[in-house]
Amino acid sequence: QPQWKSMLFALCFMHTIVQERRKFGPLGFNVPYEFNQSDLSASVQFMQNHLNDVETKKRPVDWTVVNYMVCEVQYGGGKTQDWGR
């Protein structure tokens, strides 16, 4: 699938930024959040499943669903403050 490499790169890039942001303490996040490899792995698994599903059904990628599941559920689900999302 042509989108896979771009999606994987963007996800890994976002994960790296989130990990680096933690190093700045209160300037990065007011509350210390624990983002780890399992967040990245779960997001990669979701994207693989989503791409397989849309390919089977001959539909385009639903970017709204991908954005919500990765940003709000995987990475935003553990946040307690709306400013961090």
pLDDT classification of 36: cutoffs 50, 70, 90:
confident
Averaged pLDDT for residues 49-63: 93
Say how many C-beta atoms besides its own lie within 10 A of residue 33's C-beta. Answer: 19
31 or 50: which leads in pLDDT: 50
Q: How many CB atoms within 10 Å of residue 11?
A: 20
In this prediction the pTM is 0.78
Tell me the range of 61-65, 68-72, 76-80, 81-85 where mean pLDDT is highest.
Answer: 61-65
